[in-house]
Amino acid sequence: MDAAAAARVAGHGSRRASPARRLLGPRRAPRALLALGAVVGLASALPALYLAVTVLGDAHAAVDAVLTERTVALAVRSLGLAAAVAAAAVAVAVPLAWLTVRSDLPGRRAWATLATLPLVIPSYIGAYVFVSALGPRGLLADALAPLGVRELPSMYGFWGAWLVLTLFTYPLVLIPLRAALRRMDPSLEEAARVMGRRPAQVFRSVVLPQLVPAIGAGAVLVALYALSDFGAVSIMRFNSFTRDIYIAYQSGFGRTEAAALGLVLVLVMFALLAVAARLRAARTLHRSGPGSPRVAAPVRLGRWRWPALAFCGAIVTVALVVPVGVLVFWSTKQLATGFAVGPMLANAGNSLLAAAAAAGAAALAAIVVAVLSVRYPSVVTRAVERVGYAGYVLPGIVVALALVFFSTRVALPLYQTLGLLVFALAIHYLPLAVAPIGTSLLQVPPRLEEAARGLGRSPAAVLRTITTPLVAGGVLGGTALVFLHAIKELPATLLLAPIGFETLATDIWRQTTFGFYEASAIPALALLLIAAPPLYLLSRKGDAS
Amino acid sequence: MIFRPRTAVAAALTALVVLAGGALAGCGSSADDAATLTLYSGRIAPIIGPAIEQYEAASGVDVRVRYGDSPSLAAQLAEERGNTPADVFFAQDAGSLDAVEKRGLLAPLPREVLALVPRQFRSVGGRWVGVTGRSRVIAYGPDVETSELPDSPLDLTEAHWRGRVGWAPTNASLQAYVTALRLVEGEDVAREWLEGMVANDAKSYEGNIPVRDAIAEGEIDVGLINHYYVAEAAAEDPDYPVKVHFPPEDLGSLVNVSGVGILASSENKREAIGFVRAMLSDQAQTYFAESSKEYPLISSVEPPEELTPLREIPSPNIDLAKLGDLPGTLKLMRETGAL
């Protein structure tokens, strides 16, 4: 994530720098790269700019809307939820990552894929499944009825939202963490072990510190996702900031109020990013030498294999088997009443097209942002990186309306075209690609790049031949994350897609607004099927190399 | 894997050019001889689709529909500020139409079109007109005796109903009810009711359908929703456990509408007016009454048999257009903790 802070420590700037130097950093980035960064930064600042313009249009109303006890209470509640979800996601992801990368856990590749898949389940579907399956009078209660259970405890409210958001976002920590574990030089651990440290000590004192950037980056993504989510909190009836923004828009008159609340959310996000950067400052994370590209010998679990398997099994059961089971159960009911395959295939094709294009565009933009912020840390490059998170922390409807606002004013021919939708999805999910690329870049020693420069290669050639191959895992992971989110995105797709461009997500929406949650099962399963192959490749890649 | 930025950049640029080209070509081809009409619809395809097809077949006009939820589409129209491809806005609730009208984005409708619908079901400004009506009801499950049912939603704050009531405070129809209550019974009554509902542990759901489903599943015993959600489910399943009760007092059976307006920026006003007329034709009104069990608003079509006729519903005589003070309602609902 905010790799700039960490890299700044390793920078060579003098304390008394000129203003320009302070702004542009000790190492001046190549002009072309900086120009690209400016373009990306401007694009990803559009949602925040839209909010600012709207709020300035009626500053009085905005101030009135925001300066209330309610805003403070909502901010506290939402931050509490975000923190709890992030902590739980880390607690789930760290053991999963270690077991699937570093241990001899049976079937670890399959576990890795299965454990990542919950990311594809849209939060509103996941929440609904949990409510109807595990709710007071749900499927589970029905199943337990013969045993005399009349009603299960309610899962609405904070803990319901916490559970659902944790289960469907922990892969955001798991994916970068697995990549980081694979990139880590095993010789450090071996040295520690040779010097007599026990495995647990080695993990705590050698492995864990190296994983902090990946964990932090993932945790920030999870926390910001929890802040931005609407589907799960609304179904779980948890009053969050985002829900309030939606309510304001729903009233039809609350445009300024919604924008003001959105701006507060962006400010909260900046504060969170600053804190996260502080926590991770002052670390050098790459090894001093190039190291040798090899994979650590897997740790033998021995009889610990069984609890490990039980842990993986439990997580996969709750996060994947239960929701998928319910979806399959529903879809069999649906299949019995007849179902058209043709339109669904067309929708799946549309989903795939938009998501793949958005993932590609976001990955390219993310490489620019990550290289700038890690290798050329400065006020400007950090601003470019952080402003990108605004598009991610804001609910989809805000991002969509921002693009409605700007495109109808300055780019009318592009309005409601596929290109604009792809653009919207790319800026909405850009940080999902920046984070893993940034963290993997942190583990690449800059000396390698410096040496190549010293040998006469151009910056572009260095980027292409040295940096990019070394961060390929991060690029791949980031691209996959954007893809997996873009394919289930709803509000922006509804507002910005060309008329008649139906996706699996809009189909799910159509069914659920009609109250046919069962009918949404088939497109939801189709989403999972599309997402499975990239996830499988992702989890295979590192293990094989 | 070796990643080549240059190739990737080239590929991305090519893709963008192709996409943009395709998009522009798309714009060009849509402007061919057959007239087209673009509709923003807050009503979903299964309900409105057949009515649109009827219109297309009769008029030869090609209708393109962007589906979404009504408030989001209203927000989108507000941001577009006239630069919209939409000719017609078909909303699920009067509030969304009202919001768009207040921004000056709707064109006046011809008087004879407005005259098709009773005065209380169209805008005072004459820029949108109701298409179908739905009544607020108290839906109830099998555990509730009919003798137990209250005459007024205001009675649901009694201790007897504690924890047994569901409602959807974020839903436009409930908010319209609160607005009407403020208008007719006064601010204090509305505030007292909201506070009483919250204190009586009314369960909040995200919409009418979740309330209905919660009653069916026994999570709650009664709920405040619109009549046709139950009518729909009952049409599919004769043994559906949820029934409706029209509370006679305190606006308990307030009738709200879905409706249409024509965008001021539309260049296809003739076709747009034709579309509005078609939605208010006997054919379309009969279709809405039969398929989604809503109240037809024109006098020549009778409501579906299983529904209490509109004139027999003890509904207050309120101008829906006066239900526009939504911000005030939201403020009150927030202050009382209902939202």
Instruction: Quote the pLDDT of residue B222.
Output: 96
* Shortest distance, CA A391 to any CA of chain B (angstroms): 18
Residue A29 DSSP symbol: P
From CA B78, how far away is CA B76, in angstroms rounded? 5
Q: Name the 3-class secondary structure at B62.
A: strand
Residue B107: per-residue pLDDT: 98
Q: What are phi and psi of B109, to 5 degrees?
A: -95, 150
pLDDT in tens, A310-327: 999 999 999 999 999 999
Domain membership of residue A354 (yes or no) is yes
Say what the pLDDT of residue A536 is.
Answer: 77
B200 and B331 both lie in a single domain: yes
Distance in Å from the first CA to the final CA of chain B: 52
Q: Tell me, what CATH number does A440's domain have?
A: 1.10.3720.10
Residue B14 forms part of a structural domain: no
User: How do residues B113-160 score in pLDDT, each as one tens digit?
Assistant: 999 999 888 998 999 999 999 999 999 999 999 999 999 999 999 999
Interface contact flag, A253 B8, Cβ < 8 Å: no
Domain identity same for B330 and B205: yes
Q: Single out the residue of A22, A58, A470, A530 nearest to residue A259, CA to CA.
A: A58
Q: Is residue B26 part of a domain?
A: no
Q: Which burial class, exposed, middle or buried, applies to B124 when counting CB atoms under 10 A from its CB (0-12, 13-18, 19+)?
A: middle
Domains identified in chain A, total number:
1
Pick from B7, B79, B201 the residue to mutate for testing the A interface (most A CBs within 10 Å).
Answer: B79
| Residue of A253, A364, A413 lying closest to B327 (CB–CB) | A253
Residue B231 belongs to some domain of the structure:
yes
Q: Can you give the pLDDT at residue B310?
A: 76
Cβ of A70 and B334 within 8 Å?
A: yes
Q: Do A468 and B4 touch (CB under 8 A)?
A: yes
Both B292 and B188 in a single domain?
no
Give the 3-state secondary structure of A41-76.
HHHHHHHHHHHHHHHHHCHHHHHHHHCCHHHHHHHH
Cα separation, A417 vs A415, in Å, equals 6
User: What pLDDT, on a 0 to 100 scale, did the predictor assign at position A10?
Assistant: 42
Q: How far is CA A500 from CA A370, A417, A493, A542, B49, in A?
A: 36, 11, 11, 40, 13
Whether B208 is in a domain gets the answer: yes
Provide the pLDDT confidence category of residue A198 given band limits of 50, 70 and 90: confident
User: B203-218 as b/e, with b when 16 or more CB fall inside 10 Å?
Assistant: bbbbbbbbbbbbbbbb
Decide if B187 is inside a domain.
yes
Is the Cβ pair A253, B326 closer than 8 Å? yes
Q: Do B71 and A251 touch (CB under 8 A)?
A: yes
A75-89 pLDDT, tens digit per residue, is: 999 999 999 999 999
Q: Is residue B239, in this structure, part of any structural domain at all?
A: yes
Residues of chain B with pLDDT under 70: 1-33, 313-324
Tokens of B162: 């504690």
What are the CA-CA distances from residue A412 to residues A361, A420, A422, B78, B83 (Å)?
Answer: 21, 10, 16, 15, 8
A124 in a domain, yes or no?
yes
Instruction: Give the ranges where A337-417 is alpha helix by DSSP (H).
Output: 341-375, 379-393, 396-410
B286: CATH: 3.40.190.10
In a domain, A97, yes or no: yes
Same domain, B203 and B221: yes
Q: Looking at CA atoms only, how far is residue B255 from chain A in angstroms?
A: 19
**Same-domain check for residues B47 and B77:** yes
- Residue A496, domain member (yes or no): yes
CB contact under 8 A, B24 and A251: no
Contact between chains at A252 and B99 (C-beta distance less than 8 A) = yes
Of the candidates B218, B161, B165, B200, the one whose C-alpha atom is nearest the C-alpha of residue A152 is B218
Domains: count for chain B: 2
Residue ranges making up the domain that contains B161: 134-255+324-335
Compute φ and ψ for B267, nearest 5 degrees.
Answer: -100, 5
Whether residue B86 sits in one domain with residue B60: yes
Record: contact B19-A422, CB cut-off 8 A:
yes
- Measured between beta carbons, the chain A residues lying within 8 angstroms of B20 are 414, 417, 419
* pLDDT reported for residue A1: 41
Q: What CA dihedral angle connects A303, A202, A175 and A262, to 10 degrees?
A: 130
Assign A136 a pLDDT band (cuts: 50, 70, 90): low
Q: Is residue A42 one of the residues assigned to a domain?
A: no
B87 and B155 part of one domain: no
Which residues of chain A lie closer than 8 angstroms to B64, CB-CB? 499-500
Domain shared by B126 and B184, yes or no? no
Q: Are B303 and B328 in a shared domain?
A: no
Q: Same domain, yes or no, for B200 and B329?
A: yes
- A301 belongs to a structural domain: no
Identify the domain containing residue A110 by its residue range. 3-8+49-283+313-540
In this structure, are B201 and B329 located in the same domain? yes
- Residues of B within 8 A of A499 (CB-CB) are 38, 64-66, 85
Which of A131, A422, A499, A511 should be substituted to probe chain B, the one whose Cβ sees the most B Cβ atoms within 10 Å? Answer: A499
- Same-domain check for residues B61 and B71: yes
Question: Distance (Å) from the C-alpha of residue A315 to the closest C-alpha of chain B?
Answer: 28
ipTM, two decimals, is 0.86
Q: Is residue A240 part of a domain?
A: yes
Determine whether the interchain pair A253/B84 forms a contact, defined as Cβ–Cβ distance below 8 Å.
no
For residues A171-192, average pLDDT: 83
Within-domain flag for B161: yes
Q: Give the span between the Cα atoms of B68 and B74, in whole angstroms.
A: 10
Q: Is residue B45 part of a domain?
A: yes
